[in-house]
Amino acid sequence: QVQLVQSGTEVKKPGASVNISCKTSGYTFTSYSIYWVRQAPGQRLEWMGWINVANGNTKYAQNFQGRVTITRDTSASTAYLELSSLRFEDTAVYYCARRYFFDFWGQGTLVTVSS
């Protein structure tokens, strides 16, 4: 069965960077793109960007341009999200999801930015 398993909870200081992994299984990794979405506490879902897993091309939301990098390791069937220059308002649950309509989701990774 298709699974997306994300890395664990992170606590970071303002200005630091965070790297979250999304390990996939149950399908051919290079067949579908991976997307990243975040949700601040009590807030709506927010689209961050995506990666074409087959060729590595990426597209990022304007709100995160310059701070976000999405990569993948096809040998490990894993995608990664790096968010730099963290601010208090980056405290959120970060999700990876598969395909443009997000048919399968990771369990979410809580990132807390605190001094």
Partner 1 sequence: QSALTQPASVSGSPGQSITISCTGTSSDIGAYNYVSWYQQHPGEAPKLMIYDVTNRPSGVSNRFSGSKSGNTASLTISGLQAEDEADYYCSSYTTSATQVFGGGTKLTVL
Asked if 107 is part of the footprint of partner 1 (rule: CB under 8 A), the reply reads yes
Helix, strand or coil for residue 29? helix
Per-residue binding letters, 49-88, with partner 1 (x by CB under 8 A): -x--------x-xx--------------------------
Q: Which is nearer to partner 1, 41 or 75 (CB)?
A: 41
Helix/strand/coil (H/E/C) assignment for every residue in 6-58: ECCCEEECCCCCEEEEEEEECCCHHHCCEEEEEECCCCCEEEEEEECCCCCCE
Instruction: List residues binding partner 1 (CB under 8 A).
Output: 35, 37, 44-47, 50, 59, 61-62, 95, 100-108
